[in-house]
Structure 1
Amino acid sequence: MKRVIAIFILVLLLDACSKVPITGRSRLSAVSHEEIMPLVNEQYDSVINEGKVLTNTADGRKVVEVGSRISKAVENFLVQEGYGDIVDEFDWEFNLLESEQINAWCMPGGKVAFYTGILPITKNETGIAVVMGHEIAHAVASHSQERMSNGMAANLGLSIFSAAMGQNPTMMQQLLLQSVGIGSQLGMLKFSRKHELEADELGLLFMAMAGYDPREAPVFWERMSAAGGEAPPEFLSTHPGPDRRIERLNANMKKAMEYYEQAK
């Protein structure tokens, strides 16, 4: 009986797996786009409505401009590479919120938020592109869905999303917010570090595809490291150390520069 159950669980896991574009990493995908978007829209609108939105300011318009430019380049690339089904899932939205937090995040479907606290570190349009490419990469790689899938497996077994919502809607809301970096990261740390490095790699390529110089990415992370002092910013609190990130970015720089030269 135990063997039958184990085989059944294995089949469910294999059926719920998909691959990340470009990196080819297998991921657990027990949460579909159609299932999660009503919750995403509700939670994103709640954050926006409760915060002070500065999207119509000069800084806010720059965030939108950079986000639109990178997302368009990424969509064109994904369509060319045969990932048109992923592109159909995006409904990009970019907002700048007033907050001292040095942070930015992206919900499934391309719902991005920047906090004003990170702008002194981005410094310019290319610096914004470093962060934006990273956040767009989270959406393309479906990191939130993967973290939620792992969270569901840990807390509710292999429940389907609709059943999990029925069992514990508050937990599902918390899992979503945690999966994008809002609230406690407990229980998702081991997944977070892997995803952040993958988002760094993809984000480096994405900013280059849009014509932003990828060589500025390691420079940004040097500034981010210096800004932390003894207490790291929220953007780094559960993430790999800056030295490791910079090393990985430089290892992928040759590939990124090829995209950059093509985009110029």
Structure 2
Amino acid sequence: MKNCLLCVFFALVLSACATSPLGRTQFMLMPEDQMAAMGAQAFVNMKQQMPIDQNPQTNQYVTCVARALVNEVGGQWEIVVFQDETPNAFALPGGKIGVHSGILRVARNQDQLAAVIAHEIAHVLSRHSNERASQQIAVQQGLNVIQAIANPTSQTGQLMMGALGLGAQYGVLMPYSRMQESEADLVGLELMAKAGFDPQQSIDLWINMEQAGGGQPAEFLSTHPSHATRTQDLKQHMPKALELYRSARAARKTPQCGR
């Protein structure tokens, strides 16, 4: 029985490999159509629970920026501006983009807003939601296998299972999240440049974010890279992004999204 459980678990792990837009090996268990359905339903719930910004000028501005970006990736995308003062935005599988009105205090021009939205679209393009869900499923199933084998009924056994759970979270789930955030930064950087937005404004955006936010937790215990790490990575990849930007401008991709 123990060997059967281990064989099933490891067969599942080995059969779920994919590749990210930057060439990183990914672990995927969920069908993409199921992820799209989940994203669409989550978006419906959000629209029911959160107030939608009715300002025509704000909606036109955000939609203009988002449309210029999604034109580069194709597909049907729904864009909604939520009336929420937190500086945030998100994108979901199934072509859903949500922008909090509060992000406009931090993203101070069309290029900085493009950096935010492109980052969120990059999460969808990289299938990070699927990857995160698959990691959590695999970790839980792995712990279940260990539990079935060890049968930890003693107090010591329960403590060991607790330690394994903590180790799984900080050793697998959270570092992957930091990796995904960094990947979305770089994929989003290229996307905004291809759409004709100035990629150098992505660095200014994170400077604004750092000034607007309070202290961050230590990067080791955070699901996001530090602002310093992000800006350093963006600067390293800026030469390629600037080439894409110049090509986009030569092709007359010149977004004019006025606030």
TM-score range, shorter chain: 0.7 to 0.9
> 166, 178, 183: which is aligned to 1:193?
178
Aligned to 1:195, the other structure's residue is in SS state helix
Change (3 A) 1:66 1:96: same
Q: Report the AA paired with residue 31 of structure 1.
A: M
Residue 10 of structure 2 is matched in structure 1 by 10
Count of matched residue positions in the alignment of Structure 1 and Structure 2 = 220
When the two structures are superposed, what TM-score results if normalisation uses the length of structure 1? 0.76
Return the offset for 1:9: 3.3
Contact 1:66–1:125 under 8 Å retained in 2: yes
Measured in 2, the distance between the counterparts of 1:99 and 1:216 equals: 24
The ranges of structure 1 where at least 4 consecutive aligned residues each deviate by more than 4 angstroms after the TM superposition are 1-8, 156-159, 185-188
Supply the RMSD in Å over aligned alpha carbons: 2.5
Residue 63 of structure 1 is matched in structure 2 by 62
Aligned to 2:72, the other structure's residue is in SS state helix
Return the offset for 1:11: 3.3
Measured in 2, the distance between the counterparts of 1:158 and 1:231 equals: 31
Contact 1:152–1:158 under 8 Å retained in 2: no
Contact 2:122–2:187 under 8 Å retained in 1: yes
Aligned to 1:122, the other structure's residue is in SS state coil
Measured in 2, the distance between the counterparts of 1:251 and 1:55 equals: 39
Residue 54 of structure 1 is matched in structure 2 by 53
> 214, 220, 225: which is aligned to 2:199?
214
Return the offset for 1:215: 0.7
Measured in 2, the distance between the counterparts of 1:259 and 1:3 equals: 52
Residue 148 of structure 2 is matched in structure 1 by none
Q: Deviations over 1:48-84 (max 9, x none)?
A: 1221112662112221121111111134xxxxxxxxx
Contact 1:55–1:64 under 8 Å retained in 2: no
Q: Report the AA paired with residue 67 of structure 1.
A: A
Based on CA coordinates, which of the two structures has the bigger radius of gyration?
Answer: 2
Residue 153 of structure 1 is matched in structure 2 by 138
What percentage of aligned pairs have identical amino acids?
Answer: 34
> What runs of 5+ residues in structure 1 fail to find an aligned partner?
76-89, 160-184
Aligned to 2:211, the other structure's residue is in SS state helix
Residue 100 of structure 2 is matched in structure 1 by 115
When the two structures are superposed, what TM-score results if normalisation uses the length of structure 2? 0.77
> What runs of 5+ residues in structure 2 fail to find an aligned partner?
145-168, 250-259
